[in-house]
A and B are shown apart, each in its own frame.
Chain A
Amino acid sequence: DAGVIQSPRHEVTEMGQEVTLRCKPISGHNSLFWYRQTMMRGLELLIYFNNNVPIDDSGMPEDRFSAKMPNASFSTLKIQPSEPRDSAVYFCASSLGASGGVTDTQYFGPGTRLTVL
């Protein structure tokens, strides 16, 4: 299996622009997670889906952030408008999630490094 695929790997944009990050989970996995990693705050869960349905979005920083999962093989995380403080590495992870919980082993993608100037 190719593992979790994220694109782009690097994104540099200017403040105010819209940014869309993409994720393809491992085939057959039912749960998908979006994380943000920064030096200051460490690794934070933004949102997670089970069977394409958002289960917990309490970690989404504010209305500028939105996430969708239109089908089992694709998810997007959108930031609009972007701000310099959004600069971070964004990880997508997936798991079998048969029970809908998060303690099944999570498989992480390589991440997208976002820089907002």
Chain B
Amino acid sequence: GNSVTQMEGPVTLSEEAFLTINCTYTATGYPSLFWYVQYPGEGLQLLLKATKADDKGSNKGFEATYRKETTSFHLEKGSVQVSDSAVYFCALSDRPRGGSEKLVFGKGTKLTVNP
């Protein structure tokens, strides 16, 4: 089946630093790609998504571009804030043979931003 690999954390940055969290995927067909964020003590929230190759998803200063040639969907932000401290999950849509469509999540990357 399809799968997602994202960089292991934790990642610790200073405020205003540049952020990259790598995500690569293995898929047959053309899945949709997602980044979800989980703040401490809360459920996951959709951060951004892209549904086809070369699409760029963006939200709250975060961006990710669907790169079919490198099977990647790296998350970036030019200047992080303390409030961005959270766990970030890369995910893709998967439809196994004979099965129904579902989201497959990576293991998550914990980001801590220090003042």
Interface residues of A (CB under 8 A from B): 4, 42-43, 45, 48, 55-56, 58, 91, 93, 101-103, 105-111
Contact = CB atoms under 8 A, between A and B. Distances in A.
Decide if the interface of chain B is mainly helix, strand, loop or mixed.
Answer: loop
29 contacts: A4-B43, A42-B106, A42-B107, A43-B89, A43-B105, A43-B108, A45-B102, A55-B100, A56-B99, A56-B100, A56-B102, A91-B43, A91-B44, A93-B44, A101-B93, A101-B101, A102-B93, A102-B100, A102-B102, A102-B103, A103-B51, A103-B93, A103-B101, A103-B103, A106-B103, A108-B43, A109-B43, A110-B43, A111-B43
Given A91-B44, A93-B43, 14 more contacts: A42-B107, A43-B89, A43-B108, A45-B103, A56-B102, A101-B101, A102-B93, A102-B103, A103-B101, A103-B103, A106-B46, A107-B45, A109-B43, A111-B42
